[in-house]
Amino acid sequence: MKRRVTILGAGPAGLWAALSLLEKHVEIEVTVLEKEGSPGGITGSFRYRDLVFDYGSHRLHPATSSSLMGRISDLLGDDLLKRPRNGRIWLEKRFISFPLKPVDLIFHLPFSFSFGVVLDSLTSVFSDRSEGVSFEDTLRSGLGKTISTRFYFPYAEKLWGLSPSELSPVQAKKRIASSSIGKMMKKVLSSVRGSSVSSGYFYYPVNGFGQIASRAADSIVDLGGKIMLDTEVVSVIPPSGKHHGTVVTAGGDRIETDFLFSTIPISDFMRFLDPVPPPSVVEAAGRLLFRSMVFCFVEVRKTQYTSYDAHYFPGLDTCFSRLSEPRNYSSTDEPHGRTGLCFEIPCTEGDGVWSLDDDGILKLVLDDLAKTDLPEPEVASFVVKRKRNIYPVYDHAFSLNLGTVEEFLKEYSRMVSFGRQGLFVHDNTHHTMEMGVAAADCLSADLRWNAEKWADYRELFSSHVVVD
């Protein structure tokens, strides 16, 4: 009999683990379980009234490794486009270009902001650069008061639902690449010279970002793998010793497995395990915080709403953190006379925003949009979707809680959690794909897990910083 590997979650990490395993070991039987009706997770796409929507603003960053980029190019061929970046930030009640440009920093922001940045830059040589005890301390010492208090601090509170003082300094290191005035100005200047890897372009599939996931899923099936959509897991008996494991679904299926990969949120995974982990582990997993998202997708009676692919809104005066127009990512002309807008609204599952009905969400979005300089859209229709567990939140206790859970998982030699939600990390899509490739690389044909090699990969993962 073939050795059986089961993967929970058909997001980028799970898909690339499955694809890599099947390409490497023809003797392994791979099954991927996904609770949604299509692969990709948050990186998937869907069609609505002939418009293609992504779950937020996704793009393939040029920092993607050449090997991974080559594999994606093989899957998509001419459908993978190289596109110019053209975004804006709503800052100090005006739009400035994103990525940042020196002319905007100097001339297009209020004098108090520009002067504050210059003053912070001049005095930064005398400031204490040691790591602070919080996100707030770390950014204030690195970027100075002006950019921290008038840009990053409100943005952090909007995205992660906690004040900057309640967030761990690790959150700053993982989410903000330019952690000092000097690094920020170097990045800005490099974008002008074209020397930065992130200066001005990205890759995007012609039929939406989810086309990467759908092509990967098709390839998995072509190689003999199995993807079970609309399949919710309710119980997991881990494989151990000479005994196989069993995954039980809400539909009553019992899927036997010899090795188990999980890419679902680690807090959910702990709840599914049978036997139940010790109370200390269950409690630690329950204290790991995730931020959720409400997406408001709006059909507008206009061929193009603006010429920009994405607008960022760091202030607390708007409910949405980002607005994207998918048409401008793929440069499509269809359908004529209509375009789509995606508003991303960070929230916590079960809070007032999450629980608001769809009409209430649209009203909230349009009311806040009116506070900006963007034109009032002529809404033809809209649809609201909710996704839970989007962003890990690094409060001051996250490291201790995560460590407790990961120490428990080490007891199982044939069960591994990885991916952004499985490792509770902040990563770009290409990072999570590379995690899947790495996980497959650590599993031999006879299902022996190379823990030492995986530890080396984990060390590499720890250096990942989200790139904008």
What is the model's pLDDT at position 123? 78
What is the model's pLDDT at position 196? 44
284/303 same-domain check = no
What is the model's pLDDT at position 177? 58
129/157 same-domain check = yes
Q: In what order do the strands lie in the sheet with 254-257?
A: 233-237, 245-249, 254-257
What is the model's pLDDT at position 464? 85
Q: What CA–CA distance (Å, rounded) separates 44 from 208?
A: 8
Which of the four pLDDT bands, split at 50, 70 and 90, describes residue 416?
Answer: very high
377/415 same-domain check = no
Final residue before a domain boundary, out of 344, 374, 392: 392
Could you list the residue range(s) of the whole structural domain that residue 176 is in? 100-193
pLDDT at 187 over 60: no
Q: Which of 172-186, 247-261, 349-363 has the lowest mean pLDDT?
A: 172-186
Q: In what order do the strands lie in the sheet with 415-417?
A: 226-228, 28-33, 3-8, 259-262, 415-417
Mean predicted confidence (pLDDT) in 74-94: 95
Task: Write out pLDDT tens, residues 318-344.
Answer: 999 999 999 999 988 889 999 999 999
Final residue before a domain boundary, out of 392, 413, 446: 392
328/384 same-domain check = yes
Could you tell me if residue 199 is inside a domain? Answer: no
Mean predicted confidence (pLDDT) in 121-128: 66
284/295 same-domain check = no
Could you tell me if 186 and 51 are in contact, meaning their C-beta atoms sit under 8 angstroms apart? no
What is the model's pLDDT at position 194? 47
Q: What CA–CA distance (Å, rounded) separates 187 from 181?
A: 10
**Cα–Cα nearest to 109, from 154, 146, 141, 159:** 146
301/260 same-domain check = no
Which of the four pLDDT bands, split at 50, 70 and 90, describes residue 2?
Answer: confident
**Cα–Cα nearest to 366, from 357, 358, 356, 376:** 376
Mean pLDDT of the chain: 92
Could you tell me if residue 91 is inside a domain? Answer: no
Task: Write out pLDDT tens, residues 225-235.
Answer: 999 999 999 99
259/303 same-domain check = no
Mean predicted confidence (pLDDT) in 253-262: 97
Which of the four pLDDT bands, split at 50, 70 and 90, describes residue 129?
Answer: low
What is the model's pLDDT at position 61? 93
Domain with residue 136: its CATH number is 1.10.3110
